[in-house]
């Protein structure tokens, strides 16, 4: 029995994304994958509460507390009182945190550029043509 085309495309995409992700996980600008992911989320969203960050990052409250404590220790984020709830606080990225995100993005771009350099022009154009669909798939647009 043959697989429907959708299943084959889904299986191939899942495999390729997994492989690419493993290659990119090493290009984090000196931060662990978890620290970088949380830092990038705060940089993108602006001031966030811990609960919101935990939800976006899909981690538990104790995990996000440890992540934020480490980011704060490194001077990449700061805590401030939540004006809407005196019991809570908000996290914001520092200029050093913004720079760390930019360094990691540059490192990841360099890794991908190196991979693309091994492809021929038609393969690179095919990837470029697929980017809008992939961005939509990832919910980036």
Query: Who has greater pLDDT, 26 or 141?
Result: 26
- Residue 19 in any domain: the answer is no
Give the percent of the chain with pLDDT over 90. 70
Nearest to 98 by CA among 80, 68, 71: 71
Name the band, by pLDDT with cuts 50, 70 and 90, for residue 130: very high
Cα radius of gyration (the chain)? 18
- Residue 34 in any domain: the answer is yes
Chain segment 5-32, per-residue pLDDT in tens: 557 888 999 999 999 988 888 888 888 8
Residue 141's pLDDT is 39
**Parent domain of 38:** 27-104
- Residue 83 in any domain: the answer is yes
Average pLDDT of span 105-134: 94
Q: Is 42 helix (H, G, I), strand (E, B) or coil?
A: helix
CA distance 95 to 9: 41
Stated pTM of the model: 0.80
- Residue 93 in any domain: the answer is yes
- Residue 116 in any domain: the answer is no
Q: For residues 39 and 24, is the Cβ–Cβ distance under 8 A? A: no
- List, in sequence order, every beta strand (DSSP E) within 6-98: 48-49, 77-82, 85-93
Model confidence at 2: pLDDT above 70: no
Chain segment 83-99, per-residue pLDDT in tens: 888 788 899 999 999 99
- Residue 60 in any domain: the answer is yes
Residue 96's pLDDT is 97
CATH number of the domain to which 35 belongs? 1.10.10.10
CA distance 38 to 29: 14
Average pLDDT of span 38-46: 95
Model confidence at 3: pLDDT above 70: no
- Residue 62 in any domain: the answer is yes
Cα 75 off chain centre by: 19
Model confidence at 119: pLDDT above 70: yes
How many domains, the chain?
Answer: 1
Nearest to 70 by CA among 59, 84, 83, 82: 59
- Residue 119 in any domain: the answer is no
């Amino acid at each position: 029995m043959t697989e429907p085309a959708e299943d084959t495309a889904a299986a191939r995409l899942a495999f390729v994304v997994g492989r690419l992700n493993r290659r990119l996980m090493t290009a984090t600008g000196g931060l662990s994958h978890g620290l970088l992911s949380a830092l990038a989320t705060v940089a993108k969203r602006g001031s966030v509460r811990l609960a919101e960050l935990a939800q976006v990052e899909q981690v538990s409250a104790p995990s996000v507390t440890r992540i934020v404590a480490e980011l704060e220790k490194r001077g990449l984020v700061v805590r401030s009182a939540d004006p809407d709830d005196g019991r809570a606080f908000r996290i914001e990225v520092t200029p050093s945190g913004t720079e760390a995100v930019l360094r990691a993005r540059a490192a990841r771009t360099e890794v991908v550029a190196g991979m693309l350099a091994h492809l021929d022009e038609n393969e690179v154009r095919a990837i470029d043509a697929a980017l809008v669909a992939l961005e939509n798939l990832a919910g980036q647009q």
